[in-house]
Amino acid sequence: MAAASKHTEELVDLQAPMSSDDMDLSDGWEIVLVPEIEGEIPEFKPDAEDQTHGPEDDANTQIQERLKSKLAIHHANKQLSKSEQHAGPSSCTEAPGIPIWIDKAEQAIQASSEIDSAIPLNDLITGLGFSPAETPSTLPSGLVDALRNRLSEAYLTSTLKAAQSSPKPNETLPIFVFGAFVFPAVVWSVIRDLQLWKVACCMTPARIKGYKKCAVRHGTFPAAFPSAEPDAEIQGMVIFGMDSRTRRKRLERFQNAMYDLHRGMAEIVSAEGTVVKHEVVLYVWNGPSSKLVIPGEGQGDGGKWSASRMMRDPWARGIIERSGEKIPECCGWEEAHGTLEGKLEDLSQKMDNMEV
C-alpha cells in the first residue's frame, strides 16, 4: 500500500451529503435517490464526544471518486434523513496521521476477484449461516460490500494496541457479530449517526474459535455459547469504530439482558492476505439452555440458525429495505425452501387427499 502522505492534499469531508453536482456522470453512473425516512427514527442529538473530529473525517478527492465504483456509492448519493444530516463525525480512529477512510478506500479498490480467490465469497456467505442457494445478487449490497472489505495489517495492529492500552478495553475493542448485526443496515438503524456505506467500511469478515452458534426456540436471532469441542468456531464479522459511548449503549440496548459481554480472540484476514489475531468482544447467551436449539437435536434443519430465514423475516426485511437496500423477491432461498404460497398449496392438496 502506498504511503498515506501522498493523500494529504485536497482533502474533502466524506461525512457531508453529496449532490449530483459533485459527481461525474460521464461514465454512465445513475444517481439512486432514496426517499427520506419519516417519523419512525427520532432525531439524533450527538453527545459532545461524538462531535470530536478525527483524521478520518477527510479523504482525498481522487480516493472518493474511486470509491464510487467499488463501494455501492448509491448509498452516499441518497437523500439523508435528519439524523444523518446533523450527526457528528465517525469516531473511528487509526494510527496517528493515517486517515482511516483513505486506508479503507485503497483496500476497497482491490479487485474483488483477488479477494474472492483468497477466500471465496460464497464460502463466506454460507459460513454466516445463509442457504447455499444464496449468491451476492440475492443479498443486500451493503452486506456484500462488508464481506469484501479488508483492513491493513497496520490498521489492525494499531487498533489492537490502542484498545488493550485503554483503561476500559471492553468499551474500545471491536465487536464480533454473527446474527442481525452482520447486516450493515441493522447496525445503521441502531447507531443512527453514520451513513450506511461507512458502516460497511467499518466491517470485515472474521471467525472466532471456542464458541458455537445455534438457533433460539421461537426466535429469529441466533445465540453463541462457549464450547470446548476442537472444531468449535463461529464465522461472523468484526465491527470497528463503535467505541463512542453513544454507539456502545445503543448496541448493548439492542442485545437486551439475554446476552453477556465476553472477550475473545478473532482471526481476521488482512488486506495483505495474512491472518491477524485481534482481541474482540462478543455477546454470549446467558439465558436458559432450554431455549436453545442445539444442532443435532432434530428440529427442522438440525438446529442450525438460518441467516436467510432471518433476512426475510418481516422485522429484518423492513429495516434493510428502509435503509434503501432491496432483497429480491425471487431468490435462491425460496428455491431451496419454497414460497409461502407454494407451501399453502401443498398443504391444501394434502388435506384434500386426506378427505378422499
pLDDT in tens, 87-125: 323 333 333 333 444 344 444 434 333 444 457 899 999
Q: C-alpha grid cell for residue 349?
A: 392438496
Beta carbons within 8 Å of 62's beta carbon, 6+ residues apart: 7
Residue 3 has pLDDT above 80, yes or no: no
Mind listing the domains of the chain with CATH numbers? 112-327 (3.10.490.10)
Residue 34 has pLDDT above 50, yes or no: no
Distance of alpha carbon 356 from alpha carbon 348, whole angstroms:
13
Distance of alpha carbon 268 from alpha carbon 212, whole angstroms:
18
pLDDT of residue 294: 76
Whole-structure pTM over 0.85, yes or no?
no
User: What is each CA distance from 352 to 345, 349, 355, in whole angstroms?
Assistant: 11, 5, 5
pLDDT of residue 219: 86
Beta carbons within 8 Å of 41's beta carbon, 6+ residues apart: 81, 83, 189, 192
Contact (CB, 8 A) for 209 and 233: yes
pLDDT of residue 353: 58
pLDDT of residue 186: 96
Distance of alpha carbon 304 from alpha carbon 287, whole angstroms:
18
Would you place residue 349 in the very low, low, confident or very high pLDDT band (cuts 50, 70, 90)?
Answer: low
Distance of alpha carbon 209 from alpha carbon 275, whole angstroms:
14
Weakest mean pLDDT among 14-28, 57-71, 120-134: 14-28
Q: What is the pLDDT of residues 45-93, one digit of tens each?
A: 444 444 444 334 444 444 444 444 444 433 433 433 333 333 323 333 3
pLDDT (average), residues 325-353 = 57
Give the count of alpha carbons within 13 A of 146, CB side only: 31
Q: What is the pLDDT of residues 248-291, one digit of tens each?
A: 999 999 988 889 999 999 999 999 999 999 999 999 999 998 99
Residue 301 has pLDDT above 80, yes or no: no
Distance of alpha carbon 168 from alpha carbon 175, whole angstroms:
14
Would you place residue 179 in the very low, low, confident or very high pLDDT band (cuts 50, 70, 90)?
Answer: very high
Distance of alpha carbon 320 from alpha carbon 293, whole angstroms:
26
Distance of alpha carbon 247 from alpha carbon 238, whole angstroms:
15
Contact (CB, 8 A) for 246 and 253: no
pLDDT (average), residues 120-144 = 93
DSSP string over 214-240:
EEETT-SSEEEEE---TT-EEEEEEE-
- Of 162, 130, 186, 137, nearest in space to 279 by CA: 162
Backbone angles phi, psi at 331, to 5 degrees: -150, 175
Residue 236 has pLDDT above 90, yes or no: yes
Backbone angles phi, psi at 281, to 5 degrees: -115, 150
Would you place residue 195 in the very low, low, confident or very high pLDDT band (cuts 50, 70, 90)?
Answer: very high
pLDDT, greater one: 233 or 298: 233
Provide the edge-to-edge strand list for the sheet that holds 211-216: 222-226, 211-216, 292-293
Sign, CA dihedral 101-107-112-117, equals: negative
pLDDT, greater one: 204 or 244: 204
Q: Is residue 281 within a helix (H) or strand (E), and if so which, with residue range?
A: strand 275-285
Q: What is the pLDDT of residues 313-324, one digit of tens each?
A: 999 999 999 999
Would you place residue 146 in the very low, low, confident or very high pLDDT band (cuts 50, 70, 90)?
Answer: very high
